[in-house]
């Protein structure tokens, strides 16, 4: 006796999950099953009840703050489950009613018709390291904010650093030696400086933790290989790999470029072809990292001492890809600038091609399964 396929839509919230079921077939019945607490035990109870009726389940829910716990739990039990991108869920024009029951019903119906776009669910070890990387990024942003506040505070007092570069050793010494006209202002400056030093210390601790956590990571060979590229240091390589996961899941580099949102948007019809800014879809953390790394290709191609050190012990195929990347991207940067292209547009184009070389290196490095 063949099993009955049922598509299960889960509208997941912090405290509750609304469940809807769509039967197989275009005209299959769609109904709301009910609402349960967001608890794995209650989810198991519902799934066992549905499976006991000779059903094959295909579950789906939206990506959100609740993470991938439910997806991993159901997958480990042999139940098909996908997580979909909320921004890519089709919506009817003019539909002004939204509630949990309708959201769950829409998920079940659209999953049955194949109109949903699943997101990549990272491996649990990948997500653990990704949390460290994202925490470092958040603290780096906080440090940048504190530095801006210090600059603004000092400028309001009519003081300005006369040196060439800010946040150098000379600039920090100058800030430490400043005498404010009022004791309360001196306290404010001291608190700002202490906050900046605290952020610096936290960043260093996190970087040590990232290095230690990478040692037994299955994707460590890819991280080491990516550092052969110019502009890709350890933190940049770990960020890219933790955000994107196993890059061999992309069959072609153009798929990776589109996933990163680095391809131009397009609105064409008939003979009219109109392309606009990049789509900015997909993973913003990895895209931002590649944009920053692409800045280094504005300089002539060369292997610095730091790059040669990072390349020690890497396969010849990886070294060749990295050098070809330098030759091509440095030349392309100069050529596009000579054509009068905007600097940001050029850097984005370089980042897009850089992702292609990253894809090639990832496929050239064997990883443990």
- pLDDT one digit per residue (tens) for the chain, 369 residues: 578 899 999 999 999 999 999 999 888 899 999 999 999 999 999 999 999 888 899 999 999 999 999 999 999 999 999 999 998 899 888 888 899 999 999 999 999 999 998 999 998 889 999 999 999 999 999 999 999 999 999 999 999 998 888 999 999 999 999 999 899 999 999 999 999 999 999 999 999 999 999 998 999 999 999 999 999 999 999 999 999 998 999 999 999 999 999 999 888 888 888 888 899 988 899 999 999 999 999 999 999 999 999 999 999 999 999 999 999 999 999 999 999 999 999 999 999 999 999 999 999 987 655
Of 66, 93, 113, the domain-final residue: 113
Instruction: Say yes or no: 283 and 335 in one domain.
Output: yes
Instruction: Say yes or no: 267 and 335 in one domain.
Output: yes
Of 214, 232, 251, the domain-final residue: 214
CATH of the domain at 9: 3.30.420.140
Instruction: Write out the residue range of the structural domain in which residue 190 sits.
Output: 124-214
pLDDT in the model for residue 1: 57
CA gap 358, 71 in Å, rounded: 29
Residue 159's nearest CA partner among 176, 175, 138 is 175
Instruction: Say yes or no: 210 and 224 in one domain.
Output: no
Both tokens of residue 337?
């600038």
Both tokens of residue 309?
């050190």
Q: Would you call 295 exposed, middle or buried from its count of C-beta atoms within 10 A (0-12, 13-18, 19+)?
A: middle
Instruction: Say yes or no: 104 and 152 in one domain.
Output: no
Instruction: Say yes or no: 226 and 359 in one domain.
Output: yes
Question: What's the structural domain count of the chain?
Answer: 3
pTM of the model: 0.88
Work out the number of other CB atoms within 10 angstroms of the CB of residue 140.
16
Residue length, the chain?
A: 369
119 in any annotated domain? no
Work out the number of other CB atoms within 10 angstroms of the CB of residue 284.
12
| DSSP letters for 129-193 | HHHHHHHHHHHHHHHHHHHHHHHHHHHHTT----SSSTTSHHHHHHHHT---SSHHHHHHHHHHH
Place of tokens 């850089």: 354
CA gap 241, 252 in Å, rounded: 17
CA gap 51, 3 in Å, rounded: 9
Q: What are phi and psi of 222, to 5 degrees?
A: -70, -40
Q: Let me know: does 81 contact 107? Beta carbons within 8 Å.
A: no
Residue-wise pLDDT for 182-222, tens only, equals 999 999 999 999 999 999 999 999 999 999 999 989 999 99
Instruction: Say yes or no: 331 and 228 in one domain.
Output: yes
Work out the number of other CB atoms within 10 angstroms of the CB of residue 313.
6
12 in any annotated domain? yes
Of 65, 91, 113, the domain-final residue: 113
Residue-wise pLDDT for 88-132, tens only, equals 899 888 888 899 999 999 999 999 999 998 999 998 889 999 999
Instruction: Say yes or no: 163 and 281 in one domain.
Output: no
Cα 156 to its chain centre, rounded Å, is 38
pLDDT in the model for residue 63: 93
CA gap 153, 155 in Å, rounded: 5
């Amino acid at each position: 006796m063949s099993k009955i396929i049922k598509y299960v839509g889960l509208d997941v919230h912090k405290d509750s999950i609304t469940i809807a079921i769509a039967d197989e077939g275009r005209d299959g019945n769609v109904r709301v099953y009910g609402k349960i607490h967001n608890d794995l035990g209650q989810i198991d109870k519902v799934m066992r009840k549905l499976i006991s009726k000779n059903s094959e389940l295909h579950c789906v829910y939206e990506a959100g703050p609740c993470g991938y716990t439910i997806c991993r739990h159901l997958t480990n039990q042999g139940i098909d489950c996908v997580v979909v991108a909320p921004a890519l869920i089709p919506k009817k024009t003019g539909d002004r009613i939204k509630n949990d029951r309708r959201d769950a019903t829409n998920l079940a119906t659209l999953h049955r018709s194949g109109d949903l776009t699943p997101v990549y669910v990272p491996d649990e070890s990948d997500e653990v390291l990704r949390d460290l990387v994202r925490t470092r990024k958040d603290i780096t942003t906080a440090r940048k904010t504190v530095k801006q506040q210090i600059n603004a505070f000092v400028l309001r007092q009519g003081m300005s650093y006369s040196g060439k570069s800010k946040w150098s050793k000379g600039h920090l010494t100058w800030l430490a030696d400043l005498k404010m006209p009022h004791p309360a202002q001196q306290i404010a400056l001291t608190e700002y400086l202490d906050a900046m030093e605290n952020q610096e210390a936290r960043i260093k601790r996190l970087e040590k933790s990232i290095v230690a956590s990478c040692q037994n990571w299955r994707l460590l060979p890819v991280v080491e290989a990516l550092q052969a590229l110019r502009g890709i240091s350890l933190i940049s390589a770990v960020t890219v790999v933790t955000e994107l996961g196993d890059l061999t899941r992309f069959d072609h580099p153009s798929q990776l470029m589109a996933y990163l949102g680095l391809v131009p948007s397009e609105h064409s019809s008939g003979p009219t072809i109109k392309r606009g800014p990049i789509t900015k879809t997909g993973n913003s953390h990895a895209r931002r990292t590649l944009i920053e790394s692409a800045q280094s290709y504005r300089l002539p191609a060369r292997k610095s001492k730091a790059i040669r050190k990072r390349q020690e012990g890497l396969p010849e195929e990886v070294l060749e890809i990295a050098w070809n990347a330098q030759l091509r991207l440095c030349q392309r940067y100069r050529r596009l600038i000579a054509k009068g292209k905007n600097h940001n547009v050029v850097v984005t184009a370089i980042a897009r091609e850089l992702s292609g070389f990253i894809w090639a290196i990832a496929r050239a490095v064997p990883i443990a399964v």
